[in-house]
Amino acid sequence: MVRYKDLSNLISSSGITMQIKCGSGLRQFVRKASTIQNIDYANRSLKLPDGAVVFSLIQPTGKFHLGNYLGAVRVWTELSEDAPAGGKCIFGTADLHAITIPKPDGNAFRQMRHEAIASLLAVGIDPTKSILFHQSQVPEHAELCWYLSTLTSMGALNRMTQWKTKANIKDTSSEKVGAVKLGLFTYPVLQAADVLLYKSTHIPVGEDQVQQLELTRQLAQAFNSTYKTRYFREPTTLLTPTRKVLSLQNPLKKMSKSDANQNSCICVTDEPDAIRRKIRSAVTDSIGHEFKYDPEGRPGVSNLINIVAGIQKKTIAAVEADIAGFKDHATFKNYVTDILVAELRGPREEFARYMNDKSYIYEVERNGAERAGAIAAKTLAEVRAIMGY
């Protein structure tokens, strides 16, 4: 049984009503859109129904950073360890999505793809219990994307926020819109194809993916309506419990490995000395006699508290109680550092072990692609038949 500490976090921030089977009854939760997601690790659990198909992909940026770890892949590990009877867990790299931002160095991109698989293995995802593969290894993703694109309106895509964020566009009447690449603009259609290709039922993601998954549900409805079928099921969004991990140097933006200041980001593979240096230099504030969670007033301190809460799977209030006696920033930062060093020791050592055995990574990728491809081929054959091909 997967431990989820706040079932309200599993509900789409778009305000969609979803039903989740929990304990002995069926309860409904509705969550309104919010710019702040509070961590609440209450003692609750989620049991996925038998036959559930859990699916998610992650950008192959190489070694994972703390945001990837707490916001996505650790939850994947928990889900794969407690996979429902008759169900599947399908995880991998979104390496077709990755090239919406051009990757001109093929060798570097290839290395990042392998490092991403090694990172998934290092955090505990067992390839005998889950399917691990690269999206590009299964050509059916692109074919289904084309079919779904014929059902997708320009208006729906224009409302998506991700392409605007990546293209740094705030006003769609701006001349910058004309320079946006088609692949970036239609990114959500490929994401819908990724999900529907495996008849996925549950998608664990962060809040920034909620809008795209609502489009996925709309496209599933559109296909079924157009071809008078009930072929595609509408998947459920599972919002991961930990809120965004922010930059250590600028706690007003997300943590990112592409940040020019490398002290802003902690990678899962960082050595203890690097972690100590980065936490020691993390931006906090001038209040040294108490440490409280206040994202607006004290974003730097709040980010570190959020990180500790995510690692320890505790509530913010519980972390605040643990650090209530701290009287200076040095004590607080040493506390955060010790927790991080202990948590990341295992994944760091496992990552190094896997990267020293490239043949095993290739085997995992190949086997995963074969298993994913078999599912995808069956789906595409059925979709073609429905469409008249």
Could you give the residue numbers annotated as active site? Answer: 166, 254, 257
pLDDT of residue 31: 36
Does the pLDDT at position 172 exceed 80? no
Does the pLDDT at position 386 exceed 70? yes
Q: What pTM was computed for the model?
A: 0.84
DSSP 318-340: HHHHHTTT--SHHHHHHHHHHHH
pLDDT of residue 141: 98
Determine the average pLDDT of the residues in 89-114.
Answer: 94
Q: What residue ranges of the chain are covered by domains with CATH 1.10.240.10? A: 272-356
Level-2 CATH architecture, domain 272-356 = Orthogonal Bundle (1.10)
pLDDT of residue 204: 87
Does the pLDDT at position 264 exceed 50? yes
CA–CA dist 22, 7 (Å, integer): 9
Determine the average pLDDT of the residues in 76-83.
Answer: 85
pLDDT confidence bin for 10, thresholds 50/70/90: very low
Q: Compute CA distances 96 → 139, 241, 291, 309, 382, whole Å.
A: 10, 27, 43, 33, 23
pLDDT of residue 45: 54
Percent of the chain with pLDDT over 70: 87
| Of 281, 216, 204, the residue nearest 242 (C-alpha) | 204
Q: What residue ranges of the chain are covered by domains with CATH 3.40.50.620? A: 36-244+358-387
Ranges 14-18, 213-217, 360-364, most confident:
360-364
Does the pLDDT at position 23 exceed 60? no
Class of domain 36-244+358-387 as given by CATH: alpha beta
Rg, the chain, Cα only: 21
pLDDT of residue 207: 76
pLDDT confidence bin for 46, thresholds 50/70/90: low
SS3 for 133-196, per residue? EEHHHCCHHHHHHHHHHCCCCHHHHHCCCHHHHHCCCCCCCCHHHHHCCHHHHCHHHHHHHHHH
Other CB atoms within 10 A of residue 228 CB: 7
**pLDDT digit string, tens, across residues 346-379:** 999 999 999 999 999 999 999 999 999 999 999 9
